[in-house]
């Protein structure tokens, strides 16, 4: 079944259509998922010894994919199709769930450099993207799939238990780290919303002068995953 993939902010306003897609969700069993604490941006499973935050007990992991109606395979395509290009640090992350039981995260990002668009150094904006870790009790409010509900019923309590939602296995930005963001700007009424161009395709990790974005397994040889700061300045 095809559906529009929507980014939604906490106030439940829809701010943009990313793609028409066929969504495919894979849920791990509780036995497989219980030992998963969290996943960092490099795809590493975090344990109590290497996580900077209190470990979270993940009882369900969901991975979603979609057929994008266009792909930004290189930096030039991203630059031509996005509204803003910024360098910014993640100051806070707020995950939330919409009425379709899809999990998103709102990233509060402070801009350190602006390369394209009407925002400037020092500005702070909220960027919404797929994925996040949300309390199981909150997720269950929106999830009515009988198999998922049955999975949750195996536990006496859902307190301090979580659901992890990912998009095509991509890493997610972390608090305190800096990224290059290629953003689409959308307006609904008098509200302005921002989302990464094609989700993970518009987010790059910063390693000195080197930049790198997530490389999905389905990408072809023409998909550019690395570049330098010099290429966007």
Q: What does 112-145 look like in DSSP terms, one character per residue? A: EEEEESS--TT-EEEEEEE-EEEEHHHHHTT---
Predicted pLDDT at 22: 34
Range list of H helices, 18-171: 30-33, 75-81, 136-140, 146-152
- Using 50, 70 and 90 to split pLDDT, how confident is the model at 52? low
Q: What is the mean pLDDT of residues 183-195?
A: 92
Q: Is 157 helix (H, G, I), strand (E, B) or coil?
A: coil
- Using 50, 70 and 90 to split pLDDT, how confident is the model at 217? confident
Q: What is the mean pLDDT of residues 69-88?
A: 94
Burial (CB < 10 A; 0-12, 13-18, 19+), residue 122, is exposed
Q: What tens digit of pLDDT does each residue of 81-103 get? A: 999 999 999 999 999 999 999 99
- Using 50, 70 and 90 to split pLDDT, how confident is the model at 70? confident
Q: How far is residue 128's CA from residue 204's CA, in Å, rounded to a whole number?
A: 15
Q: DSSP letter at 7? A: E
Q: How far is residue 13's CA from residue 194's CA, in Å, rounded to a whole number?
A: 12
The pTM for the full model equals 0.79
């Amino acid at each position: 079944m095809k559906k529009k993939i929507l980014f939604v902010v906490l106030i439940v306003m829809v701010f943009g259509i990313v793609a028409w897609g066929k969504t495919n969700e894979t849920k791990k069993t509780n036995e497989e998922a219980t030992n998963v604490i969290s996943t960092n941006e490099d795809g590493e499973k975090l344990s109590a010894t290497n996580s900077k935050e209190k470990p979270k007990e993940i009882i369900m992991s969901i991975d979603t994919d979609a057929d994008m109606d266009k792909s930004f395979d290189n930096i030039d395509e991203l630059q031509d199709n996005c509204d803003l290009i910024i360098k910014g640090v993640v100051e806070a992350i707020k995950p939330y769930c919409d009425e379709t039981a899809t999990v998103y995260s709102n990233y509060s990002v402070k801009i350190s450099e602006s390369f394209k668009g009407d925002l400037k150094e020092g500005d702070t904006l909220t960027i919404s993207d797929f994925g996040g870790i949300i309390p199981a009790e909150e997720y269950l409010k929106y999830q009515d799939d009988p198999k998922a509900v049955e999975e949750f019923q195996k536990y006496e309590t859902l307190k301090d238990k979580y659901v992890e939602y990912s998009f095509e296995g991509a890493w997610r930005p972390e608090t305190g780290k800096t990224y290059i963001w290629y953003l689409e700007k959308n307006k609904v009424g008098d509200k302005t919303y921002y989302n990464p161009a094609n989700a993970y395709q518009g987010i790059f990790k910063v390693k000195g002068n080197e930049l790198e974005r997530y490389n999905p397994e389905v990408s072809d040889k023409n998909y550019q995953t690395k570049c330098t700061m010099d290429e966007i300045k």
